[in-house]
Amino acid sequence: MNAIEVRNLVKRYGNFLALNDVTFNVKKGESFALLGPNGAGKTTFVRILSGQVKPTSGEVRVFGENTREFSKNVKKRLGVISHNTFLYDDLSAWENLGFYGKLYGVESLDKKIKEILSKMNLYERADDLVRNFSRGMKQRLAIARALLHSPDLVILDEPTAGLDIQSRMELFRLIDAIKAENRTIVFTTHNLEEVYRVCDVVAIMNKGQVLEITEVKESLDLKEYYLSLVEGS
């Protein structure tokens, strides 16, 4: 069963073609990487996938529902972690999670917030304003915000950007936990090691197109494979 179905997806910004006839599926429980250089179209795809942007043509279906007309029920099943934290600087960590938690209809919200802040080593700073947090702490809180409602599909758009080694290891531990629960992961990166660490399947993108989709195996020399595809495109 597919969690995501992408069909002939095109996104234009004026004359710029950000995504060009992209088609692929992501199975439920799969960890799917989008690997490509800057400007490949990864973030544009993530923005369409999460319902932030509408495609020019083609369609993306998440859990069977077109992203053009996302219902609240499907939106509640998505968690998005990107380089943009979506956090309010003038609210505390607790208030930020409280606000989003209420919008997502999270039950036993106080208990969940306490749990996830503890997991992200932020519980001691729960009442501090986010504007006083370091970049790494904000990113950890953004991860907490995205996972608070236990989403079935976790979208990670270059989530390690700006994270220190400790936070990065914590993030990977969280991703392992998400994978263990058989939830679907879409992970964009231009870091080959992260693909090996996180993903089962990788789509290599360049200039708005998916060049190849392949399973991630120990035997696969991803670097050679990636360079041959991207430089040849």
Partner 1 sequence: MMQDIFEIAFKDLKIEFRTKNTITFMILFGLITSMMFSISVPLSAVRDVAPGLLWLVFLFVGLLGFSRAFLRELEMGTLDGLKIAPVSPADILLGKIIYNLVLVLIIELIVFPLFIGLFDLRVENLFLAFGVITLGNVGFVVVSSSLSPLVLKAKSRELLIPIILFPVIYPIISSTISALSTAIKGGGLMDTSQEIVLILSFTIIMLTVSLLTFDHALED
Q: Which residues bind partner 1 (CB under 8 A)?
A: 47, 50-54, 72-73, 75-76, 78, 80, 84-91, 95, 99-100, 102-105
Our CB check for partner 1 shows the closer of 36 and 51 to be 51
Report in angstroms how near the CB of residue 105 gets to partner 1 at its nearest: 7
Report in angstroms how near the CB of residue 212 gets to partner 1 at its nearest: 29
Query: Which position has the token pair 């509408």?
Result: 54
Q: What size, in residues, is the chain?
A: 233
How crowded is the C-beta side of 113, counted as CA atoms within 13 Å? 22
Our CB check for partner 1 shows the closer of 125 and 222 to be 125
Report in angstroms how near the CB of residue 52 gets to partner 1 at its nearest: 5
User: Would you state the structure tokens that stand for residue 138, as one six-digit string?
Assistant: 């904000």
Our CB check for partner 1 shows the closer of 47 and 140 to be 47
Report in angstroms how near the CB of residue 130 gets to partner 1 at its nearest: 10
Report in angstroms how near the CB of residue 87 gets to partner 1 at its nearest: 7
Our CB check for partner 1 shows the closer of 54 and 173 to be 54
Rounded to whole angstroms, how far apart are CA atoms 218 and 143? 28
User: Would you state the structure tokens that stand for residue 192, as one six-digit string?
Assistant: 């080959």
Rounded to whole angstroms, how far apart are CA atoms 17 and 180? 37
Distances, alpha carbon 204 to alpha carbons 151, 210, 229, in Å? 25, 6, 8
Our CB check for partner 1 shows the closer of 53 and 163 to be 53
**45: CB partners within 8 A, 6+ apart:** 6, 9, 19, 22, 34, 188, 205
